[in-house]
Amino acid sequence: MKSMTAWAMFTLGLAVGAAVALCYAPQTGVQTRRKLRRGFDDASDTVKDYGDKAARLYKRGRDQAEDFYEDAAPVMKRVMDQGRKAVNL
């Protein structure tokens, strides 16, 4: 839920910044549009980069969790077997 709020605030900030830039731009409309387009493209690239990094981190974390589970499963089974044996004594 926090990430949705962060994205909403980012988008709102982007829109407000664009509106302010249009209102106070000391250049022609064509120049302003080019400048805004570059800003939007840069922001889009940044968001895509963060998305790619997040996907890589998620995959890495998932792989590490799977590796841990594979390593821990035999130990957990032995502990459970020992516990069952101890209870049956």
- Asked whether residue 44 is assigned to any structural domain, the reply reads yes
pTM higher than 0.85: no
- Asked whether residue 3 is assigned to any structural domain, the reply reads no
What are the DSSP calls for 19-75, one per residue? HHHHHH--S-HHHHHHHHHHHHHHHHHHHHHHHHHHHHHHHHHHHHHHHHHHHHHHH
**Structural domain boundaries enclosing 38:** 27-88
Closest CA to 10 of 49, 43, 50: 43
Specify the pLDDT at position 56: 94
Specify the pLDDT at position 89: 64
The top-scoring range by mean pLDDT among 3-17, 34-48, 54-68 is 54-68
- Asked whether residue 66 is assigned to any structural domain, the reply reads yes
- Asked whether residue 35 is assigned to any structural domain, the reply reads yes
Question: Structurally, how many domains does the chain consist of?
Answer: 1
- Asked whether residue 68 is assigned to any structural domain, the reply reads yes
- Asked whether residue 14 is assigned to any structural domain, the reply reads no
Identify the burial level of 43 via C-beta atoms within 10 angstroms of its C-beta, where 0-12 means exposed, 13-18 middle and 19 or more buried.
middle
Closest CA to 7 of 69, 64, 51, 67: 51
Per-residue model confidence as pLDDT tens digits over 18-44: 778 777 767 787 887 888 789 889 888
Which amino acid appears at position 59 of this protein?
K
